[in-house]
Structure 1
Amino acid sequence: MATEAAESPTASTPPGRPEPRRRGPRTRTELLDAAERVVLRDGPSASMNAIAAEAGITKPILYRHFGDKAGLYVALADRHIETLLELLREALTRPATRRERTVAAIDAWLRLVEGNPALYRFLVHRGQAEEPEVRDRVAMFQRRLGDALAIGIAAELGLPEDQWPRAQAWAHGIVGMVQAASDWWLDEQPFGREDLTRHLADLIDGAYAHT
């Protein structure tokens, strides 16, 4: 029918003229999806050129959305930070034994690392090394993570308010320990995630036993 032909993109293209190139994704979410696909494929060496190509756009357009390379790194980090913090808060406040809460909190972190090792290395190692803004954002995340854990420790042990710095010291030490252990584990893979979770929980349980 004439009406159908007028509405068809193919019918509206004059004979002999190539089809218009399909526009690449333009939303922030679609661009971040493309960036994650490239990081998962290429690892920490993923380039802005490759990300732009995957998204079907030019690199200047990619920069227009995120400002610069640091802006893209920060946007990728922000995608996962809030999700992980919420998982950790749930783990630390669930109705369970102290051991079960400890295991759940450690496992929430290790699941993220195990499920997205290329993205983890891209953000935590390459991003921090190349971009001060990313380093600041990761440091802020680690601080928030430590403070959330400190709240859980203070509640677990019934610490009075004047003992809050003590809970913070333990919490930030645990955050550093778990991150260092997960970096080592990713490189060496000597055993499964469940074993690493258990070993770290054993260490934390031992510390609790001496409080």
Structure 2
Amino acid sequence: MMTDAEAGAGSRRDPARRRALLEAADRVIQREGPGTSMAAIAAEAGISKPILYRHFGDKSGLYQALAERHTRKLIEGIRAEFSQDVPIRSRTRSTIDTYLATISANPHLYRFLMHRASAEDAATRSAMSTMIRGVSRELAEVMIAEGELTDRTRAYVWGHAIVGMVQTAGDWWLDHDGEVPRAAVVDGLADLILGGLPAAASGIPVAPPGPEDSYGPA
């Protein structure tokens, strides 16, 4: 019989075993939610918690492996929408819709990665932040390449702002899933993004609010 150390070392060299353990983690998180314990994941996989950690080096390694596994799929889907040869509105809507559809298909897993794992583990938080910045840069380059924006600094500001806005709106929508149609969120975000791009491209400053724009009683 192998020792615990041998079992852990062996699995790190076995991609199929590693994949099976990540699939076990997926099942438990999807079933029990983002607060699921490492012990529950180990039990699902039929091993002890110390051995689970050895498979990935430590808990941080497990978090990062799960993040890489799922953010890769998400980014591939977003990139596919970016590259479509269709009008900008259709592309914007389909990209936002792909993101929302992905996170709503696995809301427990999304919250586990974006909130719990990122809060508990600095390395995972850094990896997720790097992924988000990468998507923002890609979006900025698309806007520059297609002539939506010619000022590179402005394009990068907008790229990061758009990604952050969609992510935050997606978090809010998950909390109201079933109450707010996904199409309404997609259309609202697309209108906001596409309405802002012409002003951003022109560099026209937004006028400060006048007295008629004030809210509430004087």
Q: TM-score by structure 2 length?
A: 0.81
Measured at CA, do residues 158 and 206 of structure 1 come closer, stay the same or move farther in structure 2, by a change above 3 Å?
Answer: closer
Is the 8 Å Cα contact of residues 148 and 197 (structure 2) preserved in structure 1? no
What percent identity do the matched residue pairs reach?
48
Structure having the higher Rg = 1
Which of 182, 189, 192 is 1:200 aligned to? 189
Which of 140, 145, 166 is 1:150 aligned to? 140
Q: What secondary structure does 1:27 align onto? A: helix
Which of 129, 142, 159 is 2:119 aligned to? 129
CA distance in 1, matches of 2:146, 2:184: 24
Deviations 1:25-81 (A, max 9, x none): 970000000000000011011111000000011111111111111111110110122
CA distance in 1, matches of 2:129, 2:112: 15
Q: Which amino acid counterpart does residue 119 of structure 1 have in structure 2?
A: L
2:152 is aligned to 164
CA distance in 2, matches of 1:206, 1:60: 53
Deviations 1:110-139 (A, max 9, x none): 111110100000000001111111110110
- My pick for the range that moved more, 106-115 or 189-198, is 189-198
CA distance in 2, matches of 1:41, 1:86: 25
Is residue 138 of structure 1 aligned with residue 128 of structure 2? Answer: yes
Superposition misfits of 4+ residues, deviation over 4 angstroms: none
- My pick for the range that moved more, 56-65 or 181-190, is 181-190
Is residue 56 of structure 1 aligned with residue 46 of structure 2? Answer: yes
2:164 is aligned to 176
Deviations 1:153-205 (A, max 9, x none): 11232544xx2221111010011101110111111233121211111001111
Q: What secondary structure does 2:33 align onto? A: helix
CA distance in 1, matches of 2:21, 2:40: 12
1:12 is aligned to none
Q: Which amino acid counterpart does residue 196 of structure 2 have in structure 1?
A: A
CA distance in 2, matches of 1:164, 1:196: 28
Aligned-pair Cα RMSD in Å: 1.5
Flag structure 2 segments of 5+ consecutive residues without an equivalent: 1-13, 202-218
Matched residues, number: 185
Deviations 1:6-41 (A, max 9, x none): xxxxxxxxxxxxxxxxxxx97000000000000001
Cα shift at 1:82? 1.9
Q: What secondary structure does 1:44 align onto? A: coil
Q: TM-score by structure 1 length?
A: 0.83
Q: Which amino acid counterpart does residue 107 of structure 1 have in structure 2?
A: D
